[in-house]
Amino acid sequence: MITKWWQKAVIYQIYPRSFQDSNQDGIGDLPGIIFRLDYLKKLGVDALWLSPVYPSPNRDNGYDISDYQGIAAEYGTMEDMERLIEEARKREIKIIMDLVVNHTSDQHPWFKEAKKSSESPYHDFYIWREEPNELISNFGGSAWTFVPEVGKYYLHLHAKEQPDLNWENPQMRKAIYAMMNYWLAKGIGGFRLDVIDLIGKEPDRLITKNGPKLHDYLQEMHRETFGNYNVVTVGETWGATPEIAQLYSGECREELSMVFQFEHISLDKQTGKRKWDLKELNPQELHQVLSKWQVELQGKGWNSLFWNNHDLPRIISRWGNDDHYRELSGKMLAIYLHFMQGTPYIYQGEEIGMINYPVASIEEVDDIESHQMYASRLKAGYTKEELLASINAKGRDNARHPMLWDDSKQAGFTKGTPWLPVAISSEISVKNALADPNSLFYTYQRLIQLRKELPIIIEGNYRVIPTEESHVLVYERLLPGQRLVVVVNFSNQVGHFSLEHPEKSGVVLIHNYQQEIKEQLAPYEAYAILYTKN
């Protein structure tokens, strides 16, 4: 049964550092987001997920939190945060906080105390061992770092400045729940839970993802915190399969609202290798994976629908075409995804077709993950050219260059010096997008509006329609008396598809070419038709 507000919602992700600067220090901030709320309302989204805005040494751009209950000065004040929640609420938009509870910053007071002495009450908030084992950090290198004061190693599954919290410790869990309740009491609309599938880890058995106590912790968290509020909770779950997703998000499980899983997004990576090790995307494989999730979660769990986030390259540069077909391929990707079941996420700039930002040297790179990969692979014998090619294809900075608002010097993001260069473009900007009734922005606006109008998009059964050509992807959604068919050409070559039963009563809901629908599909052509039986 579809009864929850977030099952009908569309969520927009903001990377605050790069969204809108209001005080000209080159870093986006909360007043900047408030200034742009009317734009987001025009797009039609229901909630904003903010990447972390808490105080942080920014080793991993805010995903290393040093104070869970504060706001980083560069983003503003707690009053700004409260004003944002209130101003968004007036526009019927909810604010979702990014919650990083797998680890803290090494500058968090808990860790500073923890590493002073094994006797400290905070020592056991983290994971310590006399000897390291072979666990590797997600950013490369050993996951253990030695602290001479206590003569032990602590675990960090990311950078060494991001020590992992010890979820086995009930006092630690209590402190986290108190912090979550502090935010819930402020009226936020929910949490996005960073790498949540890691909290049940058992390092001695080399188990990191999907540890045995993971779901117990989430049920306890639900009971102690957000279970008492009508909010959304979305778990970043790299290790989820559809079966595991049912554990997180099944209605009677009382854990999370939905998963944010990456199986489709990992299809251009060689099996068993890291994200940098590319292979060409096969659209049929993509269709098969997305369809599997559609069918296997129907009625049993809830999924997120996304192409982008702050960790992923821009989708048009990745699986679309950022050369001749930027807008058309962007529209095709949006149409293909937004008629599926789940909660769509739009990452800032996606709605205006922002693309990757290639660099010519490692000195131009900000992101810690790219730097760590570059350093370790250079030692392993890769050439600089190979490594830069990987960074340009997959590096996280691609998504983090400032939002393009207009055609002024720094694209309306700041009047100061931006923390990461602005990818100035004469073509891509919010200003241009709003002025052109045929722009990608209006495709997204229409897709959001259709989701609000047509229950078949929210709850219709999903079925794949087979095609002759591997780049032509087709599916249908079904409700009694209604059939919604989505047809996309995932290529810059022409394709072919003719509807089997072209009922007369079909209404074209959206089409990215201004021409009649024919059997031959133009490059990246995409449309959706709704058939209703009288």
Active site residues: 194, 236
194 binds ligand NOJ (CB under 6 A): yes
b/e burial code for range 189-209 (CB count within 10 A of at least 16 → b): bbbbbbbbbbbbbebeeeebb
Rounded to whole angstroms, how far apart are CA atoms 103 and 64? Answer: 7
Kindly tell me which of 195 and 473 has the beta carbon lying closer to ligand NOJ. 195
Which candidate, 31, 25, 29, places its Cα nearest to that of 15? 29
Kindly tell me which of 29 and 236 has the beta carbon lying closer to ligand NOJ. 236
Amino acid at 80: D
197 binds ligand NOJ (CB under 6 A): no
397 binds ligand NOJ (CB under 6 A): no
Q: How far is the CB of 102 from ligand NOJ (least distance, A)?
A: 7
DSSP letter for 483, please: E
Q: How far is the CB of 156 from ligand NOJ (least distance, A)?
A: 10
Kindly tell me which of 327 and 350 has the beta carbon lying closer to ligand NOJ. 350
Q: How far is the CB of 206 from ligand NOJ (least distance, A)?
A: 19
Q: How far is the CB of 298 from ligand NOJ (least distance, A)?
A: 27
**Site pattern 415..444 for ligand NOJ (x: CB under 6 A):** ------------------------------
- What residue has token string 């009864």? 3
Adjacent-strand bridge partners of 129: 153
**The one among 60, 164, 268, 476 contacting ligand NOJ by CB under 6 A:** 60
Residue 17 neighbours by CB under 8 Å, 6+ apart: 27, 28, 51, 61, 62, 400, 419
Q: How far is the CB of 193 from ligand NOJ (least distance, A)?
A: 10
The residue at minimum Cβ distance from ligand NOJ is 63
Measure the CA dihedral 35/40/41/42, to 10°. Answer: 110
Tell me whether strands 461-464 and 472-479 are parallel, antiparallel or unpaired. Answer: antiparallel
**Site pattern 359..378 for ligand NOJ (x: CB under 6 A):** --------------------
Give the SS3 label for residue 125: helix
Size of the site for ligand NOJ (CB under 6 A): 9
Q: How far is the CB of 63 from ligand NOJ (least distance, A)?
A: 3
63 binds ligand NOJ (CB under 6 A): yes
Kindly tell me which of 63 and 405 has the beta carbon lying closer to ligand NOJ. 63
Measure the CA dihedral 306/370/52/241, to 10°. Answer: 40
**Site pattern 217..256 for ligand NOJ (x: CB under 6 A):** -------------------x--------------------
Kindly tell me which of 399 and 530 has the beta carbon lying closer to ligand NOJ. 399
Q: How far is the CB of 310 from ligand NOJ (least distance, A)?
A: 6
Kindly tell me which of 235 and 353 has the beta carbon lying closer to ligand NOJ. 235
Q: How far is the CB of 400 from ligand NOJ (least distance, A)?
A: 10
Measure the CA dihedral 409/410/411/415, to 10°. Answer: -100
**Site pattern 457..486 for ligand NOJ (x: CB under 6 A):** ------------------------------
Backbone angles phi, psi at 460, to 5 degrees: -60, 150
Kindly tell me which of 27 and 529 has the beta carbon lying closer to ligand NOJ. 27
Query: Residue 359 — left, alpha, or beta (φ > 0 → left; ψ -120 to 50 → alpha)?
Result: beta
Contact 77, 31 (CB under 8 A): no
Adjacent-strand bridge partners of 484: 477, 530
Amino acid at 425: S
Contact 21, 414 (CB under 8 A): yes
**Site pattern 149..188 for ligand NOJ (x: CB under 6 A):** ---------x------------------------------
Tell me whether strands 190-193 and 232-236 are parallel, antiparallel or unpaired. Answer: parallel
Which candidate, 25, 100, 108, places its Cα nearest to that of 62? 100
DSSP string over 224-285: HTGGGSS-EEEEE-TT--HHHHHHHH-GGG-S-SEEE--TGGGTTB-TTS-TTSB----HHH
Rounded to whole angstroms, how far apart are CA atoms 349 and 401? Answer: 10
Rounded to whole angstroms, how far apart are CA atoms 518 and 118? Answer: 72
Q: How far is the CB of 489 from ligand NOJ (least distance, A)?
A: 32
Q: How far is the CB of 307 from ligand NOJ (least distance, A)?
A: 15
Within 300-319, which residues bind ligand NOJ (CB under 6 A)?
A: 310-311
100 binds ligand NOJ (CB under 6 A): yes
Please report, as ranges, the residues that interact with ligand NOJ according to CB under 6 A: 60, 63, 100, 158, 194-195, 236, 310-311
